[in-house]
Structure 1
Amino acid sequence: MNLLDTVTNTKDLIAEKYNGKIDFAIVLGSGLGDLANKIENPIIIPYSDIPGFPKTTVAGHKGELIIGDIASKKVLAFNGRFHYYEGHSMKNVTIGIRVAQKLRIKNLIISNAAGAMNPKFKPGDLMVISDHINMMGDNPLIGENIDEFGPRFPDMSSCYDKEYINKVKNIGSNLGIDLVEGVYTAITGPNYQSPAELRMLRIIGGDAVGMSTVPEVIVANHGSMRVLGISVITDMALWDTLEPLDHSDVVATANRAKDKFIKLIEEFIREV
């Protein structure tokens, strides 16, 4: 089954269960799946029930699609994402975004767990993503362009919506949630970086580093979606003081930050 067929079939499957307007698509990163528990009137579709859909294999990524309500808005949440390092093609990594576009969803909230290369950050911070650097050595738009999805050469000058950045910063201030802002750098993984690699990524302008998000944001912009990106800072990835890191630590720190993350995203959805 090719990409367009899988996307169309998934869209039709969702339409059988809910055929109304959906305001937001949400991609939930490692340890942030509890936002799904805030979705009211949920319709849950396991990824395993969707023909041709990839499977997620990483701890902290449940692997289900949820349609429901947050703050009186209709959302489509991907509770668990697909990673390039799992062996998925870039087309499969970003297939959820294509499904959202097929459903005519105009807004994307995307989250992740990331290591801080900016020494001013600390574990537990929420970083509003202002821009990104793609260091994955691949791009989901390589290959034949499907004009139905977007143009051959999409613009990325405002890949994270500036109005949404300002709005979420104002919301954070009103809620008493301290936010930082920075550039997210995406690498393939699955290994964490060496000190020399982190030094390079910091020198070229990265504030945080992770193994996701950028492919989805590229595809979202290809399809003219407005994007808000939030990284939960789970560890300090400082090249000169680097300590051993385990994925369980990443998930645990994300879990500790989830309450303020959920509060922030709920209010953002309410106000947009």
Structure 2
Amino acid sequence: MDNVLVKMNEAVAYIEEQAKVKPEFGLILGSGLGELADEIEDAVKIDYEQIPNFPVSTVEGHAGKLVIGKLKGKAVIAMQGRFHFYEGYSMQEVTFPVRVMKGLGVHSIVVTNACGGMNKEFEPGDLMLIEDHLNMTGQNPLIGPNESELGPRFPDMSRAYTKEYIEKAKEVANNLSIKVQQGVYAGITGPTYMTPAELIMLRNLGADTIGMSTVPEVIVASHMGVKVLGISCITDMAIGEELEPLTHEQVVEVANRTKPKFIQLVKEFLAAV
């Protein structure tokens, strides 16, 4: 994406004209999880297609709207649906909304996804706090000219997932009696689900879950100094030795069942930070 700073500022200016609050927290809501945005108070909703330079979400379970308002007393901007590399967008386009969030004043994001569980201790319906990731996409959204106003040429990724946010989310989950796992998320491009041999390889490399999003957004957030809490909703088990056929409809169905505790966890986390 050429002139990312110019395009970012155009989108920011348009959104600021519509919004009633200056957001502090960004929420990126994955497959089947967009309902949280419906709980935002005094909300302004903007279709992606109305925003200058914004891509448009094409995936079932992604509403394709920005929702700006208050949630648990915090000013938030939520993405109901995200963009994926497999849709044909560049990595720069996929991560453009994170750039725009930062331009609007966001200092922290909660990024969520529906994913497959590779850790045999996990089960469908579990929530996992992301401690780290494996970028298995073969791509990086920071390839190309670096805008020094946005971040350094060679950003450090050792603390991409904010440790104090992980600890706070664990504390909140414990208070709510919500079981949460912790682990490493492997990001792939998709759109194919992985073969049994690929899943075994990734598990042996140290991954606990696998999905087709999140990693690009977190790289860009880290580049700009934005704090991150990552939450994965485990919708299916991706155990190579026991792999069953899988459809996107199954993923969305399990994400829908998991929604109540996911929404509760995110809301109370926001209230607590």
Q: What interval of TM-score do these two structures reach, taking the shorter chain for normalisation?
A: over 0.9
1:191 aligns with 2:192: yes
For residues 148 and 102 of structure 2, what CA distance do their matches in structure 1 show?
13
Which amino acid letter does the alignment assign opposite residue 55 of structure 1? V
Aligned to 1:243: 244
Gaps of at least 5 residues in structure 2 are: none
Instruction: Give the secondary structure class of the aligned counterpart of 1:206.
Output: coil
Aligned to 1:170: 171
For residues 76 and 7 of structure 1, what CA distance do their matches in structure 2 show?
16
Cα RMSD for the two superposed structures? 0.9
Deviation at 1:51, TM superposition (A): 2.3
Q: Which runs of 4+ in 1 moved over 3 A?
A: none
Q: Given that residues 101 and 149 in structure 1 are in contact (C-alpha distance below 8 angstroms), is that contact kept between their aligned partners in structure 2?
A: no
1:217 aligns with 2:218: yes
| TM-score, normalising length: structure 2 | 0.98
1:138 aligns with 2:139: yes
Which amino acid letter does the alignment assign opposite residue 3 of structure 1? V
Deviation at 1:19, TM superposition (A): 6.1
Aligned to 1:96: 97
Aligned to 1:37: 38
Q: Given that residues 128 and 233 in structure 2 are in contact (C-alpha distance below 8 angstroms), is that contact kept between their aligned partners in structure 1?
A: yes
Bigger CA drift: 113-122 or 17-26?
Answer: 17-26
**Structure 1 residues 36, 20: closer, same or farther in 2, change over 3 A?**
closer
Q: Given that residues 6 and 53 in structure 1 are in contact (C-alpha distance below 8 angstroms), is that contact kept between their aligned partners in structure 2?
A: no
Deviation at 1:15, TM superposition (A): 1.1
Identity %: 54
Q: Deviations over 1:176-219 (max 9, x none)?
A: 00000010000000000000000110000000000000000000
Aligned to 2:114: 113
For residues 21 and 47 of structure 1, what CA distance do their matches in structure 2 show?
18
Q: Deviations over 1:131-175 (max 9, x none)?
A: 000000000000000011100000111110000000000100000
Q: Given that residues 45 and 66 in structure 1 are in contact (C-alpha distance below 8 angstroms), is that contact kept between their aligned partners in structure 2?
A: yes
Deviation at 1:71, TM superposition (A): 0.4
Instruction: Give the secondary structure class of the aligned counterpart of 1:240.
Output: helix
Which amino acid letter does the alignment assign opposite residue 254 of structure 1? A
Instruction: Give the secondary structure class of the aligned counterpart of 1:120.
Output: coil
Aligned to 1:128: 129
Aligned to 2:6: 5
Deviation at 1:6, TM superposition (A): 2.0
